[in-house]
Amino acid sequence: MKNRLPELREREGISQAELAEAVDVTRQTINSIERERYDPSLELAFELATYFDATVEDIFLYEADEDGV
Q: State in angstroms the smallest separation of the CB of 15 from another protein.
A: 11
If the CB atoms of residues 9 and 40 are measured against another protein, the closer one turns out to be: 40
Closer residue to another protein (CB): 4 or 27 = 27
Q: How far apart are CA 53 and CA 38, in angstroms?
A: 22
Closest to 51 (Cα-Cα) out of 43, 27, 36: 43
Q: Which residues bind another protein (CB under 8 A)?
A: 17, 20-21, 24-29, 32, 38, 40-41, 43-44
Nearest approach, Cβ of 17 to another protein (angstroms)?
6
- What SS3 class is residue 45? helix
